[in-house]
Structure 1
Amino acid sequence: MRYLTAENIEKIAIGASLLGAGGGGDPYVGKMMALSAVSQYGPIKLLAVDEIDDDAVYMPAASMGAPLVMTEKFPKGDEFTRAFNRLGQYMGTTIAGTFPMEAGGVNSMVPMVVAAQAGLPLVDCDGMGRAFPELQMTTFHLGGVAATPMVVTDERGNLSIIETISAKWAERLARDQVVEMGASASVSLYPATGRQMKTNGISGIVTKCEQIGEILSQPQKGRDWQLHNLKKLTGAYHLFDGKITDIERTTRDGFNFGKMIIDGLGEFEEQSMTIDFQNENLVATKNGKIIVSVPDLICLADMDSLLPSTSEGIKYGKRVTVLGLPADDKWRTTKGLETVGPRYFGYDFDYVPLENTLAEV
């Protein structure tokens, strides 16, 4: 057990944004919400998974919708805790703590806001180890934990409670509501016991985000030092350096969809990379060959500072470094690939682990 202060949050926000793989929301928005909550309510207690009660109930809180919308449609500030508290009331149970459902610049920070406002601990665990665009795309779903009951609410105070027969139905029904709420809303879902978290969650994610942020917060040590230590910590591969020369982006059905083209620089000069995204980066093609696909992570960072770049923050002319990170083993199972593999997203090819593809290049 330890306490998270403003200094910890600054680093966690950076690391979470990288693991968001282009999605998970704007890290500045998320960080400022968490810093404000800690300033008002004090440090947040962080518990390791092995410190939580097997029979107690824990619930995440998150933002759902198109991340680009949140850069203009800011949260009011109380809707995350409203969703969290209302779900606990509906279930008629005492909630022992909260945790992030995914890694990302906003959705790693939202549970910190709830923890500070509600005076509850945050658990060092999540349900993805990265960010994904749909509600059923969690390791809790893979383990048979129900997504519902679920609360959806917005900054105006509209609120609904959903119970569904599957996590995919929760995604479909909640997504329609989120679109009507302006393509961004607050949710609480996947209530889980401590035992279910230990079995199905990805442990240590908050600490890992902080460790990544610690590395990326030291530009004075040089880019080579940062890349070396990032690879050592995460198993990352340095895939590409280049300048974004074309980008298409649209918001529909509560998602950000798009494609970017990156022309190589330095050792990658005269080469090209294309990346498709749906909130998160899905597939990277280098010189016409697919080299990385979901569930492995495709992460963009500023080419000089290595600070992460989200899909809504990139623009024409930006110089970026592209990193590939292996997904958690839970995603590389048959059910994991059925849920988040390339064929789920409409691509006509099977998943090949990042490290295997790169060995063939």
Structure 2
Amino acid sequence: MRLLGIEEIENIAIGAAVLGTGGGGDPYIGKMMAIEAIKKYGKVRMITVDELKDDDLVVPVSSIGAPTVGVEKIASEEELTASLEMLEKVLGKKATAIMPIEVGGINSLIPVAAAAKKGIPVLDADAMGRAFPEAQMVTFHLDGLSPGAVTMADDKGNTLLMYPINGEWSERLARAATIQMGGQAKMCDYALEGKNVKQSAIPDTLTLAEDIGKIIRHSKVKGLNPVKEMLKKLEGFELFQGKAVDIRRRIQEGFTKGEALIEGINKNKDQLVKLFFQNEHLLAVDASKDKPLAITPDLIAVLDLETGVPITTEGLKYGARVIIIAFPCHEKWRTKKGIETAGPHYFGYPYEYEPVEQLERKRKDWE
């Protein structure tokens, strides 16, 4: 167990935006919510998976909806914990710890803010190892666990309880409700006992986000290249350097969907890369050769060329000079069920999944 204060939150916010692969909501908003909660209620205890007892109740608290909407609809303190308090009432049991459902953007820090308000620990783990756009795209689903009772709350004071039969139905019902709630809501699903969380969650991901944040914030002071240092940490690859020349976004079915065309600069001059996203970046393609560079469930992140600071899908603007990087997902996503759940065919992309390190070897051959 250790305490999270403002310095730790600053680092987690930046690192979570990298792991969020462009999605998970605006990390700045999550950072400010967490910092405000810490100032009001005190530092938050962060515990590891190993510290859980088998009968502990661990509850994920997250935001669901289109990240573009979330920039303009910031949750109140009451909305932040309304879904959690409703779930505790339904289950007749208090949460022992709160955890992020995904380690990405605002959804890494909403649990910290909720934990500060409730005075309970936040768990150093999540159920994705990144951010994904849909509720069933979690390691709990991969391990056959049910979402159980699902609660939602919006900015108007509405709360909702449902019992979906599986993760796919949890996504369908929650997404439909989110649209009616104005495109953003707070949600609790997969409230599980400690023994299940220890088996299925991806451990130490908030610490990983914090480490990435430290690299980005402090590398230049030490005379180091933040992107190179980050890629060492993540065992990743630099795919492309370029300038955003065309960005198309739309709010569709409760998601921010779109494509971005990046025109090469520096060593990538006269080349083009196209990014495809649904809240998160899911596919990077060499547009001139029509060859994939990185494919979901591996992680694709867009960074500012000068600072290495991550840029979200809603924050990417025309003319931005960027570096596109990619790195391997957690091994659970490279299983047959993982690829069926969050691979390219699920999103309608006409490519077979290949690990990013394999694609990188191929790229060196055809370049």
TM-score w.r.t. length of structure 1: 0.98
Q: Tell me which residue corresponds to 2:258.
A: 258
Q: Distance in 2 between the 1:224 and 1:264 partners?
A: 24
Q: Distance in 2 between the 1:313 and 1:25 partners?
A: 10
Q: What displacement does 1:164 show? A: 1.2
Q: Tell me which residue corresponds to 2:74.
A: 74
Q: Tell me which residue corresponds to 1:323.
A: 325
Q: Tell me which residue corresponds to 1:41.
A: 41
Can you list the C-alpha shifts for 1:170-200, whole angstroms capped at 9, x where unaligned?
1111111100011101101111111111110
Q: Tell me which residue corresponds to 2:351.
A: 349
| Amino acid corresponding to residue 321 of structure 2 in structure 1 | R
Q: Residues 243 and 262 of structure 2 are in contact (CA less than 8 Å); yes or no, is this contact kept in structure 1?
A: yes
Q: Distance in 2 between the 1:256 and 1:96 partners?
A: 33
Q: Residues 223 and 305 of structure 1 are in contact (CA less than 8 Å); yes or no, is this contact kept in structure 2?
A: no
Correspondence 1:311 to 2:313: yes
Can you list the C-alpha shifts for 1:188-234, whole angstroms capped at 9, x where unaligned?
11111111111100000000000000000025347853223212211
Q: What displacement does 1:325 show? A: 1.1
Can you list the C-alpha shifts for 1:48-100, whole angstroms capped at 9, x where unaligned?
11011112110010000000001111212221211111111101123101010
Q: Tell me which residue corresponds to 1:185.
A: 185
Q: Residues 82 and 159 of structure 2 are in contact (CA less than 8 Å); yes or no, is this contact kept in structure 1?
A: no
DSSP-derived class of the 1:309 partner:
coil
Q: Tell me which residue corresponds to 1:165.
A: 165
1:202-281 alignment, distance < 5 Å: 202-218=202-218, 220-221=220-221, 225-281=225-281
Correspondence 1:89 to 2:89: yes
Q: Residues 220 and 226 of structure 2 are in contact (CA less than 8 Å); yes or no, is this contact kept in structure 1?
A: no
Q: Residues 226 and 307 of structure 2 are in contact (CA less than 8 Å); yes or no, is this contact kept in structure 1?
A: no
Q: Distance in 1 between the 2:304 and 2:268 partners?
A: 16
DSSP-derived class of the 1:46 partner:
strand
Can you list the C-alpha shifts for 1:24-57, whole angstroms capped at 9, x where unaligned?
0001111000000000000000001101111211
| Amino acid corresponding to residue 124 of structure 2 in structure 1 | D
How many aligned positions are there? 361
Choose the corresponding residue for 1:339, options 327, 338, 341.
341
DSSP-derived class of the 1:78 partner:
helix
1:12-161 alignment, distance < 5 Å: 12-161=12-161
| Amino acid corresponding to residue 267 of structure 1 in structure 2 | K
Q: Distance in 1 between the 2:75 and 2:81 partners?
A: 12
Q: Residues 223 and 304 of structure 1 are in contact (CA less than 8 Å); yes or no, is this contact kept in structure 2?
A: no
DSSP-derived class of the 1:102 partner:
coil
Q: Distance in 2 between the 1:21 and 1:305 partners?
A: 17
DSSP-derived class of the 1:14 partner:
helix
Q: Distance in 2 between the 1:55 and 1:30 partners?
A: 30
Q: Distance in 2 between the 1:24 and 1:196 partners?
A: 24
DSSP-derived class of the 2:333 partner:
helix
| Amino acid corresponding to residue 136 of structure 2 in structure 1 | Q
Q: Distance in 2 between the 1:239 and 1:275 partners?
A: 12
Q: Residues 37 and 117 of structure 1 are in contact (CA less than 8 Å); yes or no, is this contact kept in structure 2?
A: yes
**Runs of 4+ more than 6 Å apart:** none
Q: Residues 283 and 292 of structure 2 are in contact (CA less than 8 Å); yes or no, is this contact kept in structure 1?
A: yes
Q: Tell me which residue corresponds to 1:285.
A: 285
Q: What displacement does 1:349 show? A: 2.2
Q: CA RMSD in A?
A: 1.1
| Amino acid corresponding to residue 119 of structure 2 in structure 1 | G
| Amino acid corresponding to residue 197 of structure 2 in structure 1 | M
Q: Tell me which residue corresponds to 1:197.
A: 197
Q: Tell me which residue corresponds to 2:300.
A: 298
Q: What displacement does 1:8 show? A: 0.3
| Amino acid corresponding to residue 152 of structure 1 in structure 2 | M
